[in-house]
Amino acid sequence: METVATPKVKQVNENQCQQCMPLGGVVAFKGIENAMVLVHGSQGCSTYMRLTNVEHYNEPVDIASSALNEKQAIYGGEANLHKALDNVIRVYAPKFIGVLTTCLTETMGEDLKRLVATYRLNRGITAVDIIPVATPSYSGSQTEGFWAATRQLVAYYAQPTERHQGINVIIPHISPADIREIKRIFGLFGLEYTMLPDYSMTLDRPYGGRYQKIPPGGTKTRDIARMSGARATIQFGLTCPDNLSPGLLLEQEHGVPLHNLPLPIGLQNMERLVETLEELSGLSLPDILERERGWLLDGMADSHKFNADGRPIVYGEPEIVYAFSSICMENGATPVVIASGTRSNRLTGLLATLLADADEQPVILEETDFAAIDEAGFMAEANIAIGHSGGKFLTERRGIPVIRVGFPIHDRTGGQRILSAGYTGTLAFLDRFTNALLETKYDSYRELRKEEMGIREGA
């Protein structure tokens, strides 16, 4: 396989494919009940993270900032952090505050753990849990930020507890629609479970005529505390690094067996989840899911020849990239470029297995940018792309349609409602993919045939 980590000679990043590390942490923390998030740094970081989230989720996403300026950057941000915590507690009355560091405060060398401990002691705060996580963007992307925050939640809350029949479900950054579909599937198997994090309601509110400072929903912290006694953990985190893996922590510290699975996006990936759920529940596939699988198989048959014309570029966070590469492979649309802005020590190995029988080996780019993705796609004659809104230039400059999945989606509406998980979501995605290829085909085939044969009007 041709693996080209973005050439080392190239230092400049041209058109970014990844987000910053605290941004991932914000999303994970928004999946906790009664939570507020505080970013320790200069004002701009929190505002940009709000903007990115607001444009994707179409919801108010409040993120507080300790709003450091030059003086605190030099003399330390403790007073600002404490004041920020005071104000967040006063205005939002949260039960939980996730505090994320930024490049600035990490460079300043702020000892966030100590600052938070001092605050709790000085103010005598007992009713609010305050959890700090280090998220310097020079050390990782939003992917690592999401895992780091999620793992920290487990590390903080999960205490030795009695064994119970519940299952832990740990997700990477996926859409609220996907979370709801995964929950429905677990429900159909009659399993009791705790999903972490769960922002399916907090970042996708039904209309209620009000803005709620902290929207209801999210994982209850008392349920996180019980995760240590669960029967098993299912973590959709094949690419999650060991040192950031919440599921691995639960296995190593509390003996909860870990089933580390791919996201249930794509037939084969969904089969792996179903096998695991059948084993854990002792039930066979529920009728409704059997039918949904049948519809997916039927749809795959209907569209396979169209899909064979696809030469996709797949890009985004490693877990998403793996899942959508799988869908492409099982439908005969071998990706020509697979790319992530994140560096993953797992993705390339996983893809090697997935692509073992491919007719043509794709270019694989890690820690890359859209300039490199664009160039590789052009060389490989890509004709369709799968990923977030960052790929818009592929369409603008190369005429390649982008099927929007992942995060962020800021130039289309409904990013929060995009469903790709389960048999139903897989088929919904596949139809979008096939129809994009068909749209190109219907727009161009008459002219192409004429061009090929040199047919001119009147000739």
Partner 1 sequence: MDTSSVTAEGSACISERQNSILTTGKSKSSIHCADDSLAGSVSQRACVFCGARVVLNPVTDAAHLVHGPIGCATCTWDIRGSLSSGSEMYRNSFSTDMKERDVVFGGEKKLATCIDEIVGKYHPPAIFVYSTCVSGMIGDDIIAVCKAASERHATDVIPVESSGFLSGNKVVGYRAAAIALMQLIKPKVGETVEKTRKLNFLGEYNLGGEKWVVERYLREIGIEINVAFTGDSTVAALKQAPGACLNLVQCTGSMHWVAMSLEQEFGTPYLDVNFFGAENTAGSLRKIAQFYGEPEMIRRTEALIEREQARIQPVLQKYRKKLAGKRAAIYVGGAFKAVAIIHQLKELGMEIVLTGTQTGKKEEYDNLSTLLDPGTIIIDDANPAELEKFLLEKNVDVMAGGVKERVLAYKLGIGFVDHNHDRKDGLAGFDGAVRFAREVYVTTCTPVWSQLKATGRRA
Which lies closer to partner 1 via its Cβ, residue 203 or residue 321?
203
Q: Could you give the CA distance from residue 405 to residue 428 in angstroms, rounded to a whole number?
A: 12
**Which segment (19-27, 153-161, 252-260, 440-448) binds partner 1 by CB under 8 A?**
19-27
Is residue 80 near partner 1 by the rule CB under 8 A? Answer: yes
Do 21 and 139 contact (CB within 8 A), yes or no? yes
Of the ranges 120-128, 179-187, 311-319, 320-328, which one interacts with partner 1 (CB under 8 A)? 120-128
Q: By CB under 8 A, name the one of 1, 3, 83, 275 that touches partner 1.
A: 83
The one among 8, 11, 121, 459 contacting partner 1 by CB under 8 A: 11
| Residue 202 contacts partner 1 per CB under 8 A | no
Of 118 and 361, which CB lies nearer to partner 1 in the complex structure? 118
Residues 256-295 that bind partner 1 (CB under 8 A): none
Question: Which of 115, 116, 138 shows the shortest CA–CA distance to 20?
Answer: 138
| Minimum gap (Å) between residue 171 Cβ and partner 1 | 23
Name the segment binding partner 1 (CB under 8 A); options: 102-110, 221-229, 297-305, 428-436.
102-110
CA of 249: how far to CAs of 49, 145, 253, in Å? 28, 16, 6
The alpha helices in 213-263, defined as continuous H runs, are 221-225, 246-254
Residues between 368 and 397 with contacts to partner 1, criterion CB under 8 A: 371, 390
The residue from 10, 113, 412, 450 that contacts partner 1 (CB under 8 A) is: 10
Q: Is 310 in contact with 333 (CB distance < 8 Å)?
A: yes
Is the CB of residue 430 less than 8 Å from the CB of residue 295?
no
* Residue with smaller CB distance to partner 1, 19 or 194: 19
- The count of C-alpha atoms lying within 13 angstroms of the C-alpha of 80, restricted to the half-sphere facing its C-beta, is 23
Tell me if 4 contacts partner 1 by CB under 8 A: no
Residue with the two structure tokens 């928004």 = 30
Q: Single out the residue of 25, 31, 41, 422 in contact with partner 1 (rule: CB under 8 A).
A: 41
Per-residue x/- mask for partner 1, residues 212 to 231, rule CB under 8 A?
Answer: -xx-x---------------
Size of the site for partner 1 (CB under 8 A): 81
Q: Measured from the CB atom, is 48 or 156 closer to partner 1?
A: 48
Residue 134 phi/psi, 5-degree rounding, is -85, 120
Q: How far is the CB of 273 from partner 1 (least distance, A)?
A: 30
DSSP 3: B
243 forms part of the interface with partner 1 (CB under 8 A): no
**Does residue 434 interact with partner 1 by CB under 8 A?**
no
Per CB under 8 A, 51 contacts partner 1 = yes
The Cα 388–Cα 336 span in angstroms is: 17
Nearer to partner 1, 91 or 438 (CB): 91
Within residues 159-188, the interface with partner 1 by CB under 8 A covers none
List of long-range contacts for 104-110, beta carbons under 8 Å, 24+ apart? 104/41, 104/42, 104/45, 104/68, 104/73, 105/40, 105/41, 105/68, 105/77, 106/134, 106/136, 106/138, 107/136, 108/73, 108/76, 108/77, 110/40, 110/76, 110/77, 110/78
Q: For partner 1, give the closer residue by CB, 64 or 232.
A: 64
Among 205, 226, 293, 311, which residue sits at the site for partner 1 (rule: CB under 8 A)?
205
Region from 156-164, 202-210, 263-271, 437-445 binding partner 1, contact rule CB under 8 A: 202-210
114 is an interface residue for partner 1 by CB under 8 A: no
Cβ–Cβ < 8 Å for 268, 350: no
Identified binder of partner 1 from the candidate list 25, 26, 32, 66, rule CB under 8 A: 66
- Per-residue tokens: 105: 């405060």
